[in-house]
């Protein structure tokens, strides 16, 4: 059975007109695939009456006396409304559809409320509907425990729902519809020459997300990679091809001089660089950082100095901790991390030299660097972000 999973985000569900666009996408898919399963997010964002954040504001979420279990019940409402409203649109368009909660679609989770993990999917309810020729419209972001209590899956939960259903149903592909044309070579807000990426590997998307890019949630990508299912990011509002996320295919074709080493450039702002001088107990110090929930990123340890980066919001915690160790220290505020990403850079000499030459030519000071098999990150001052991103984008011919 040839099955497609289609997931539609909040902007796709926001108005009657946008929901008609969604119905058109579903009808087009039905011409190609034997069966289609739809997953939906809550309608709109904060301010929209049924958006998840709007629902949380109804109970003053940060000071509420509701339990985590009750909060999950509240947060699940937005997606349930979306599934019913879209089902109504499909029925009015002559498409036989049926609305389902996450639990109704067979999604069973643990009881880690607000960020539950899916432990099983019973596909019988969905297969019954598909065999009857109906299109299931599943409320994303949610499931139920074995005891039938509603749970939510945490950030990116609807994308994760789509991937999990794709895995359980052995789907041919998962399409994620949003309001952009696909994944781009850089953030178009800071890099005007950014372009849509046609194909990208699972690993490169992971690296983009971890480096600050606003792409599909890593949990959804991990499930798709595990199942070997292509993920396709598309725009609800046009017919652009979008970006296909799949296993890397570059190794299977002969490399040519035209092959680009770099796939994308990501950035992360609001970073502080910390430098600690003198001899301190490294093991205890970094253990204490972890206890304070301080996440460190780029790190270099020398016999007489430790240099690492933290999120700006953690600065006061880190100061208190360093002073406990009575160590001299300095901070550099208003930093950002720019990362080039590409699986083909592994084992290729001269890439770092190219980056240094490019940024030096643009008068951008590099404060610190880090690299992995498929990334090279540079810490720079935030004021230089636009210049650096544009220069690297041009240097590695991504435009």
Q: What confidence tens digit (pLDDT) does each residue in 67-126 have? A: 999 999 999 999 999 999 999 999 999 999 999 999 999 999 999 999 999 999 999 999
| Helix residue ranges per DSSP H, the chain | 16-30, 52-57, 68-75, 77-92, 124-131, 157-168, 202-210, 218-227, 282-291, 315-324, 351-361, 385-395
| Residue 123, marked binder | no
| Residue 147, marked binder | no
pLDDT at 254 > cutoff 60: no
Percentage of the residues of the chain whose pLDDT score is greater than 90: 80
Please, which pLDDT band fits residue 249 given cuts at 50, 70 and 90? low
- pLDDT, residue 218, reads 86
pLDDT at 369 > cutoff 70: yes
| Residue 9, marked binder | yes
- pLDDT, residue 259, reads 61
Domains delineated in the chain:
3-179 (3.40.1160.10), 264-395 (3.30.2130.10)
Please, which pLDDT band fits residue 18 given cuts at 50, 70 and 90? very high
Question: Strands 264-277 and 296-302: what pairing?
Answer: unpaired
pLDDT at 250 > cutoff 70: no
| Residue 79, marked binder | yes
Please, which pLDDT band fits residue 46 given cuts at 50, 70 and 90? confident
pLDDT at 257 > cutoff 50: no
The whole-chain average pLDDT of the chain stands at: 92
Average pLDDT over residues 130-144: 97
Give the angle 390-394-399 at the CA atoms, nearest 5°. Answer: 95
Quick check: 207 and 374 in contact, CB under 8 A?
Answer: yes
pLDDT at 270 > cutoff 50: yes
| Residue 8, marked binder | yes
- pLDDT, residue 303, reads 85
pLDDT at 269 > cutoff 90: yes
pLDDT at 382 > cutoff 70: yes
Q: Greater confidence, 340 or 250?
A: 340
pLDDT at 216 > cutoff 90: no
- pLDDT, residue 379, reads 98
pTM for the full model? 0.86
Residues 6+ apart with CB under 8 A from 359: 365, 366, 378, 380, 388, 391, 392
pLDDT at 179 > cutoff 90: no
Tokens of 78: 């937005």
pLDDT at 258 > cutoff 50: no
Among 95-109, 225-239, 251-265, the least confident range: 251-265
Average pLDDT over residues 303-310: 92
| Residue 52, marked binder | yes
Return d(Cα 61, Cα 92) in angstroms, integer. Answer: 37
| Residue 10, marked binder | yes
30-40 residue pLDDT tens: 999 999 999 99
Average pLDDT over residues 142-160: 94
- pLDDT, residue 73, reads 96
Average pLDDT over residues 177-198: 92
pLDDT at 223 > cutoff 50: yes
């Amino acid at each position: 059975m040839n099955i497609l999973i289609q997931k539609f985000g909040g902007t796709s569900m926001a108005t009657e007109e946008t929901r008609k666009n969604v119905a058109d996408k579903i009808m087009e898919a039905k011409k190609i695939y034997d069966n289609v399963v739809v997953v939906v997010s809550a309608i709109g964002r904060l301010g929209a009456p049924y958006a998840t954040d709007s629902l949380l504001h109804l109970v003053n979420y940060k000071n509420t006396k509701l339990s985590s279990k009750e909060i999950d019940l509240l947060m699940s409402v937005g997606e349930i409304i979306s599934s019913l409203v879209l089902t109504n649109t499909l029925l009015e368009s002559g498409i036989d559809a049926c609305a389902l909660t996450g639990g109704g679609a067979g999604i069973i989770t643990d009881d880690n409320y607000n960020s539950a993990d899916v432990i099983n999917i019973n596909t019988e309810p969905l297969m019954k509907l598909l065999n009857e020729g109906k299109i299931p419209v599943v409320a994303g972001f949610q499931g139920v425990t074995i005891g039938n209590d509603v749970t939510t899956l945490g950030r990116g939960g609807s994308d994760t729902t789509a991937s999990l259903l794709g895995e359980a149903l052995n789907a041919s592909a998962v399409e994620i519809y949003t309001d952009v044309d696909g994944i781009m070579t850089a953030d178009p807000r800071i890099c005007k020459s950014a372009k849509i990426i046609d194909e990208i590997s699972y690993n490169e998307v992971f690296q983009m997300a971890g480096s600050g890019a606003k792409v599909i949630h890593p949990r959804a990508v991990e499930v798709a990679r595990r199942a070997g299912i292509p993920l396709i990011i598309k725009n609800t509002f046009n017919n652009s091809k979008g970006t296909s996320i799949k296993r890397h295919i570059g190794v299977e074709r002969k490399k040519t001089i035209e092959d680009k080493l770099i796939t994308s450039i990501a950035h992360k702002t609001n970073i502080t660089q910390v430098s600690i001088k003198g001899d301190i107990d490294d093991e205890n110090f970094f253990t204490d950082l972890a206890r304070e929930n301080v996440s460190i990123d780029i790190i270099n340890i020398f016999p007489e100095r430790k240099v690492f980066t933290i999120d700006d919001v953690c600065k006061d915690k880190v100061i208190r901790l360093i002073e406990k160790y009575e160590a001299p220290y300095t901070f550099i505020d208003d930093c950002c991390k720019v990362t080039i990403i590409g699986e083909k850079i592994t084992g290729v000499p001269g890439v770092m030299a190219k980056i240094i030459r490019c940024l030096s030519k643009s008068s951008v000071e590099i404060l610190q660097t880090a690299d992995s098999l498929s990334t090279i990150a540079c810490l720079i001052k935030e004021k230089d972000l636009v210049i650096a991103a544009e220069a690297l984008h041009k240097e590695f011919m991504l435009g």
